[in-house]
Amino acid sequence: MQRTVPLTRDLVLIGGGHSHALVLRMWGMNPLPGVRVTVVNPLPTAAYSGMLPGFVAGHYTREQLDIDLVRLARFAGARVIIGAAEGIDTEKREVRIAGQAPISYDVASVDVGITSEMPALPGFPEHGIPAKPLAEFAAKWDAYRTTAKAPKVAVIGAGIAGAELAMAMAHTLKDRSGKVTLIDKSGALPGMTEKARDKVLAAMAEAGVDLIENAPIASVGADGVRLEDGRLIEAEFVNGAAGARPHDWIATSGLDLVDGYIAVGPTLRSSDPAIFATGDCAHMTHAPRPKAGVYAVRQAPILYNNLRSALTEKGRMRPYQPQRDYLKLVSLGRRSALADKFGTAVRGPLLWLWKDRIDRKFMAMLDDLPKMPVPPLPKEIAAGAVEALGDKPMCGGCGAKVGRGALRNALASLPATTRKDITPLPGDDAALLTTGGAQQVITTDHLRSLTNDHALMTRIAAVHALGDIWAMGAKPQAATVNVILPRMSAALQERTMREIMGAANEVISGAGAAIVGGHSSMGDELTIGFTLTGLCEKAPITLGGARADDALILTKPVGSGVLMAAEMAGIAPGADVVAAYAQMLQPQGLASEILGKAHAMTDLTGFGIAGHLSGICEASGLAAEISLDAVPLMQGALALSEKGVRSSLYPDNVAGAGIVTGRKGPLADLVFDPQTAGGLLAAVPADRADELVKKLWLAGYPAARIGRMIDGPPSVTLV
């Protein structure tokens, strides 16, 4: 009998720097059973520093610059928490995350880089843009360079990084007569050999960069940089590339520090044996070195080995011995670079091609992730097992539902209730209870996990389950929680349940209801569900009240099934996945109030637009038309559909949706896409539809008028 190793240890990677990105890749190739891995980062991507000057110059796109942490985490079997770390409690062994509950660790590693924010320089926090963190700078530069008419840029700090950025900016802005000024309070390019410095200065002059040395800065304003001697350097975009320093929260960590950086020994362990640190945020006490990405890359295998040793509490810790010097490849704006090592400096376009090859090879290693082998099926299996298994893994969320046709056929055999206090609502996912004159809606829903982040999954499942209450125009009242945890130690059970119940309470109480109990058990995988009641102050909105000529309004975009299927396969862009999560998390309570006078309404979940709209058509005795071009889509959904990506529930949705005719193709296929925590689909009077859509938009819902109800036998036409 094959045994599943229970989870017993939490490894938390704080930051998505180069070392951690490589550790995730190595972990995916050879995970340590029993360890739950979490990576915490402010964004779903992390910018690669080696390609930043090339991106600024226009040689690379933003997609080429970014390391996709969501894809890497899926490959590693890790969860991603999108948020900025703001502290470590070494006594409780918790990582504090801005705006979120803390998460526990047994072993943690810090790779958050450095920042070039200059809070002490008057006006810089309001008008300046630090070069680090890289991702935020890249986004703001991309927006500026595409909109500036007569660009004027100032870069503060004439070290190698500032010089590279200034030349890159001058190159990309040259066709618009852009003016770039590089300013330093002392001399330019400190630490470089005289030969290398002369070549970089010559390249800056050729690029048209104005260099101002020995010029202390008084302030930064909306009009540019004011020097202490009174001169104003006019600039619309002021970039700070000087004064790189550690993030403020590190100072309160309680760890031993050197100049604010986490002190680590040869094994990259800090003064707390449960915490490691790597990259620019760490100071190697045994071999101090300047801040450079090459060290972070070479630290990764050592960190990977030593994290495993700490988590197994056995095995040999390996020491990291940095090289005495390294090859410095400096971008010179155009497709040219300078190479500097051991006092020798040369420049030219061939060196840029060499640097480009090195950088692309590094990014390809993190992007072209290997296909890990799938365990083979037994030699002998029951007839039909291969067909039932299908050619892809079963989706999570609503993509794991039983098909509409199979479900309807099974439920049709149940006898009708004879209780007078229960009113079945044919086609709806709830029933109406009458107790002491009060009308109560009751419903239940649960989801197979679609993400390794159990707190995020809980929020999605809660919003999803509440959809049935909101779709009937009811007010959420009470909830019980049903949780199946994968097998884990008692300590991890407590941590996980604490996170799950905190997230559940946040959503349920935010909807105006209360959690009154629930049930938990251990199983093969995470499953979260809710049983809910809601109070109806008036007759519930059902599927059966639609009228001919009613307009159809959808409150959320569709595409979550395709996106989650692609995420499971490791082919969905991480930014698109995170954007989809944000859509799923949007509660529909206010939308339900705005649509409170709808003739018919349902929440869009596993059966997709086609299946749920067919339910309205059948219950109301009408047909419907959908204008495909009006249907709002999640970011990236259509591109994936065009590539043939489908949820595992898609074939059942096509078969069970009833009569659907009209347009075909990738866009039409998205009407069969199963939605998790989808929007409300409402049939409303046509003369009020535009007004309601406007109200929904003002309330923050990306709603759209997507079609209409028409006379005819139940069917859906795609136009």
Element holding 521 (H helix, E strand): strand 514-523
% of the chain exceeding 70 in pLDDT:
95
Question: How high is the pLDDT of residue 3?
Answer: 64
Active site residues: 398
Taking only Cα atoms into account, the Rg of the chain, rounded to an integer number of angstroms, comes to: 29
DSSP conformation letters of 325-338: ---EEEEESEEEEE
372 part of a folded domain: no
Contacts by 418-424, CB closer than 8 A, 24 or more apart: none
Question: How high is the pLDDT of residue 398?
Answer: 56
405 part of a folded domain: no
In a shared domain, residues 661 and 633: yes
Q: How far apart are CA 673 and CA 634, in angstroms?
A: 12
| Residue bearing the bigger pLDDT, 649 or 377 | 649
- pLDDT grade for 1, boundaries at 50, 70 and 90: very low
Judge contact between 432 and 423, C-beta under 8 A.
yes
In a shared domain, residues 558 and 641: yes
In a shared domain, residues 583 and 658: yes
Judge contact between 84 and 97, C-beta under 8 A.
yes
In a shared domain, residues 551 and 690: yes
Q: Looking up tokens 């296929």, which residue turns up?
A: 669
What are the CA-CA distances from residue 445 to residues 133, 556, 700 (Å)? 41, 20, 26
SS in 3 state form for 611-655? HHHHHHHHHHCCEEEECHHHCCECCCHHHHHHCCCCCCCHHHHHH
637 part of a folded domain: yes
DSSP conformation letters of 263-300: EE-TTSB-SSTTEEE-GGGEEETTS-----HHHHHHHH
644 part of a folded domain: yes
Question: How high is the pLDDT of residue 649?
Answer: 87
355 part of a folded domain: no
Sign of CA dihedral 39, 40, 43, 46: negative
Over residues 111-160, the pLDDT tens digits come to 999 988 888 899 999 999 999 888 889 999 999 998 888 899 999 999 99
In a shared domain, residues 262 and 197: no
Q: Identify which of 480, 475, 466 has the alpha carbon closest to the alpha carbon of residue 439.
A: 475
As a whole number of angstroms, the longest Cα–Cα distance in the chain is 94
Residues 6+ apart with CB under 8 A from 193: 340, 343, 345
* CATH code where residue 140 lies: 3.50.50.60
Over residues 49-76, the pLDDT tens digits come to 999 999 999 999 999 999 999 999 999 9
Q: What's the chain's length in residues?
A: 719
Judge contact between 16 and 46, C-beta under 8 A.
yes
Last residue of a domain, one of 264, 296, 325: 325
Q: How far apart are CA 209 and CA 169, in angstroms?
A: 9
What is the domain count for the chain? 4
In a shared domain, residues 571 and 695: yes
Q: Identify which of 113, 105, 111 has the alpha carbon closest to the alpha carbon of residue 89.
A: 105
In a shared domain, residues 488 and 564: no
Last residue of a domain, one of 296, 325, 354: 325
In a shared domain, residues 259 and 197: no
Question: How high is the pLDDT of residue 201?
Answer: 96
- Mean pLDDT, range 334-341, rounded to an integer: 91
Q: Identify which of 590, 580, 602 has the alpha carbon closest to the alpha carbon of residue 676.
A: 580
Over residues 221-259, the pLDDT tens digits come to 999 999 999 999 999 999 999 877 899 999 999 999 999
Last residue of a domain, one of 541, 563, 598: 541
Global pTM reads 0.91
Question: How high is the pLDDT of residue 372?
Answer: 72
Structure tokens at 99: 């705006």
- Mean pLDDT, range 97-116, rounded to an integer: 94
Q: How far apart are CA 489 and CA 491, in angstroms?
A: 5
- pLDDT grade for 413, boundaries at 50, 70 and 90: low
What are the CA-CA distances from residue 371 to residues 183, 367, 424 (Å)? 48, 12, 49
- Mean pLDDT, range 362-379, rounded to an integer: 84
- pLDDT grade for 461, boundaries at 50, 70 and 90: very high
389 part of a folded domain: no
* Residue 553 reports pLDDT greater than 90: yes
- Mean pLDDT, range 379-383, rounded to an integer: 81
% of the chain exceeding 90 in pLDDT:
75
Over residues 127-140, the pLDDT tens digits come to 999 998 888 899 99
Question: How high is the pLDDT of residue 409?
Answer: 66
In a shared domain, residues 626 and 662: yes
* CATH code where residue 439 lies: 3.30.1330.10
201 part of a folded domain: yes
* CATH code where residue 708 lies: 3.90.650.10
Exposed/middle/buried for residue 439 (C-beta within 10 Å: 0-12, 13-18, 19+): middle
Structure tokens at 678: 């989808």
Question: How high is the pLDDT of residue 656?
Answer: 84
Q: Identify which of 644, 562, 575, 547 has the alpha carbon closest to the alpha carbon of residue 609.
A: 562
170 part of a folded domain: yes
In a shared domain, residues 603 and 551: yes
Sheet of 224-227, strands arranged across: 217-221, 224-227, 232-234
Specify the range with the lowest mean pLDDT, choosing from 12-26, 280-294, 699-713: 280-294
In a shared domain, residues 682 and 549: yes
> In the chain, what are the helix, strand and coil shares in percent, each to the nearest 5?
35, 25, 35
Question: How high is the pLDDT of residue 478?
Answer: 96
Over residues 618-634, the pLDDT tens digits come to 999 999 999 999 999 99
Q: How far apart are CA 278 and CA 297, in angstroms?
A: 9
Question: How high is the pLDDT of residue 563?
Answer: 96
Structure tokens at 25: 């890749």
In a shared domain, residues 513 and 562: no
Domain range for 472 is: 429-541
- pLDDT grade for 691, boundaries at 50, 70 and 90: very high
